[in-house]
Amino acid sequence: MGAPTQAIRDLSGILPILVLWGVALVILLGAPLLRRGPGSRLAAPLGGAGALGALLVLLRGSSDGFGDTLFAGAALTDTLYSSGAFVLLLGGFLSVLVAQTYLRSRDLEKPEYYAIMLLSLSGALLMMQANDLIVLFLGLELMSFGLYVLAGFARTDAKSDEAALKYFLLGALASALMLYGIMLTYGVAASTELSNVQSAVARGALKEPMGIAAALLLVIGLCFKIAAVPFHQWSPDVYEGAPTSATAFLATTAKIGAIVAFLRVCDTIAGGYHTWLPAIRAIAILSMIVGNLIAIAQTNVKRMLAYSGVAHAGYLLVAVACMGFRLMGTKGTQASILAMTGAVFYLLAYALALIGAFGVLAYLSSRDKDAQTLNDLRGLASSQPAVGYAMVLFMLSLAGIPATAGFIGKWQVFYAVLTGGDVALAVTMALTSAMGVYYYLRVVWYIVFEESAAPKPSPTGHGVEARPRAMTGVGAAITICCIATIGLGILPAAISSFLTVVR
C-alpha cells in the first residue's frame, strides 16, 4: 500500500474531527458577519450543522474499518470510540439547540460560542480515539480549554467569571497531575503507545514504585475531570455559575470524553489491577454515597444536578472498575465487555436526561430571570404542563425508574458488575440509587403538587412571551430528549447496533 492511500485512510479515520474543525473555522472567520444583523441568525444553525455533520460522517464511516490504528499508532477507530462518539456528538447537537434559545434570551449570543463548542467536541473525540497517552492528553486539553471559556462566557456576570476561574485552576491542576503520570508511564514502558504500555504492564511494570505512582496519577487526573469524590469540589460551583447552556454542555461532554478514555486506559492496564482497582473501587463507593447525600440538601437545581453528577460519576466508575476483571477468567472478560457497552448506554441516557433538564431551566429563563432554584419550578405542571411533565420525566430517568433510559443504563452496569462477581459495588450501587430517588422526586413534588408562586399567566401581559419560544431550539431539544428517553427505556435494542462495544 502506497503512502498516499495510507494518508487518506488516516484522515478518513478522523473525518468527524475534521468536519468539526472545518465548521468551527468557518464560524470563526465569518464571525464579523455572524455577530449582528441578519447574519446573527445563522451562527446557531451553523454550529448545529457542524455537530450533526460530524455525527452523519461518523455513522457512514463506522461500517467499514474497525479496530484500525491511524497515524502510525497514535489514534485508532474501534467500537468503543464509535459508540462513544455517537453519544458525544448527539449530546453536542442537543446542546447547540439549548444554547441557541438560552443565549439569545439572556443576551449572550456570540458566534464564537458555537465555534468553541465544536472545538471542544473535537477534543473529546480525539481523547476517545487516542491510542497513545500523549494524544489522549492533547485531546483532554483541547476539550477542557473550550469548556473553561464556555463556563466564563457571561463575562459581565461575576458568578460566571468565578466559575470559570475555579474550573480552570482545578482543571489545569488535574491536567498537570495526569501529565506527570504519563511521563512516569513513559519511564516504565519506554513508550506512551497503549499497546506498549499494555505489554509493559504484563511484564510487571505496575509493581515498581514508579509504575504505581504513574497509574495513580492517571486515575486522579481522570477522576478530576469526571468530578468523582474527593476531586469533585469544583463541580457544584461551576455548574451553578456557568450559563445554563454551558453547564449542560460541559457536564455531558467532559463526562462522556473522560469516561470513555478512562475505560480505555483501565482496559489497557488491566494486567496490573492490584495497583489501581482498590483505588477506583474506593472512589466509586465514596462518590455514590457522598454525591447522593449532599444532593439531598440542595435547593438550587443546578447544584443538585452537580452533586447528582458526582453520584453518576460513581456509578460510571463501577463500570470502569469492571475493566479490572478482564483478566480474571471468562466471567471477568465477559463483565468487562458488558461494562463497556453498559457505560456507553448509561452515558447516552445521562446526557439525554441532563441536557433535557438543563434545557427546561433554559426554557424558563428570560433576560432578567435565570431559572435555577426549586422555587422557579413550583407548580410548573399546571402553569406550563408540557415543560413541567418533561422535567418530571428527566428526573425519573436520572433516578433510574423503570421504563426510562436511565433505568436500562443503570441495569446494564449493575448486571456487568454482578457478572464480575463484585457484590460490594453492586450492593452500594443499588442502595445509593434508592437514596437518590428521594431528591429527584422532591423536584417532581415541586413541579406537580406545589402551588405556583407567580400568578398564572394571563392571555395578555407577561405570560405571553414564553409561548413562541416553544418552537425554537430548546423546545426541539426537550422534545428530542423526551422521545429518546422513553423510547430507549422501552426499546433499548433499537439503538444497540450503534452502541454495542465489540472486543
Judged by CB under 8 A, the chain residues 353 through 412 that form the site for another protein are: none
Q: For 456, which DSSP code?
A: P
The verdict on 138 binding another protein (CB under 8 A) reads yes
Considering only 181-189, 200-208, 257-265, 274-282, which stretch makes contact with another protein by CB under 8 A? 181-189
| Shortest distance (Å) from residue 137 CB to another protein | 8
Segment contacting another protein by CB under 8 A, of 30-38, 155-163, 413-421, 427-435: 155-163
Contacting another protein (CB under 8 A), which of 195, 233, 479, 500? Answer: 233
Q: Determine which helix (DSSP H) or strand (DSSP E) holds 68, and give its type and residue range.
A: strand 68-70
Asked if 180 touches another protein (CB under 8 A), the answer is yes
Cα–Cα distance for residue pair 178/414, rounded to 1 Å: 29
CB of 50 to another protein, least distance (A): 21
Helix (H, G, I), strand (E, B) or coil at 42: coil
What is the residue type of 37? Answer: G
> Could you say whether residue 453 binds another protein (CB under 8 A)?
no
Q: How many residues bind another protein (CB under 8 A)?
A: 41
| Rounded least distance, CB 218 to another protein, Å | 13
Kindly indicate which of the ranges 24-32, 160-168, 223-231, 353-361 contains the residues binding another protein, using the contact rule CB under 8 A: 160-168
Whole-number Å distance between alpha carbons of 152 and 243: 8
Burial of 462 (0-12, 13-18, 19+ CB in 10 A): exposed
Q: How far is the CB of 258 from another protein (least distance, A)?
A: 17
Residue 94, φ and ψ in degrees, nearest 5: -65, -35
| Residue 231 touches another protein, criterion: CB under 8 A | no
Residue type, 257: G
Beta strands in 255-365 (DSSP E): none
- Three-class secondary structure of residue 70 per DSSP: strand
Q: Which three cell numbers stand for residue 162?
A: 468565578
Q: Is 73 in the site for another protein (CB under 8 A)?
A: no
What is the closest distance, in whole angstroms, from the C-beta atom of residue 233 to another protein in the complex? Answer: 7
SS3 443: helix
What 3-state class would DSSP assign to 235? Answer: helix
Nearest CB to another protein, comparing residues 124 and 319: 124
CB of 113 to another protein, least distance (A): 15
Which range of residues in 143-151, 330-338, 341-349, 482-490 is near another protein by CB under 8 A? 143-151
What percent of the chain is helix, strand and coil (3-state, nearest 5)?
A: 80, 5, 15
Specify whether the CB–CB gap between 67 and 76 falls below 8 A.
Answer: yes
Specify the residue, 21 or 180, whose C-beta has the smaller distance to another protein. Answer: 180
- Regarding 237 and contact with another protein (CB under 8 A), the answer is yes
Q: Please, is 199 exposed, middle or buried when counting C-beta atoms within 10 Å of its C-beta (0-12, 13-18, 19+)?
A: middle
Cβ(312)–Cβ(399) below 8 Å: no
> Should residue 158 be labelled a site residue for another protein when binding is judged by CB under 8 A?
yes
Task: Kindly state whether residue 267 participates in binding another protein, applying the rule CB under 8 A.
Answer: no
Is 297 a residue that touches another protein (CB under 8 A)? no
Cα distance between the two ends of the chain: 27
Contact indicator for 400, 407 with CB cutoff of 8 Å: yes
Q: Which is nearer to another protein, 182 or 443 (CB)?
A: 182
Measured in degrees and rounded to the nearest 5, phi and psi for residue 10 equal: -60, -50
Q: Does 9 bind another protein (CB under 8 A)?
A: no
434 counts as binding another protein under rule CB under 8 A: no
Nearer to another protein, 156 or 458 (CB): 156
Three-state DSSP at 63 gives: coil
Q: Choose one: 57-65, 122-130, 134-142, 268-276; the region binding another protein (CB under 8 A).
A: 134-142
> Binding marks (x or -) toward another protein, 186..225, rule CB under 8 A?
xx--xxx---------------------------------
**Alpha-carbon torsion angle 265, 268, 269, 273, nearest 10:** 100
Among 78, 109, 112, 141, binds another protein (CB under 8 A): 141
Stretch that binds another protein, among 57-65, 136-144, 219-227, 330-338 (CB under 8 A): 136-144
Q: Is 69 in the site for another protein (CB under 8 A)?
A: no
Applying CB under 8 A, among 172, 279, 386, 401 the residue interacting with another protein is 172
Burial bucket for residue 415 (CB in 10 Å: 0-12, 13-18, 19+): middle
Shortest distance, position 484 Cβ to another protein, whole Å: 32
Cβ-count burial of 126 within 10 angstroms (0-12 exposed, 13-18 middle, 19+ buried)? buried
At position 387, the amino acid (one-letter code) is: V
Among 10, 68, 162, 450, binds another protein (CB under 8 A): 162
- How far, in Å, CA of 501 to CA of 342, rounded? 9
Least distance from another protein to the Cβ atom of residue 157, Å: 7
Burial class (CB in 10 A: 0-12, 13-18, 19+), 456: exposed
Instruction: Output 157 or 450, the one with its CB closest to another protein.
Output: 157
Interface residues with another protein (CB under 8 A) are: 134, 137-138, 141, 145, 148-149, 152, 155-159, 161-166, 168-169, 172-173, 175-177, 179-180, 182-184, 186-187, 190-192, 233, 236-237, 240-241
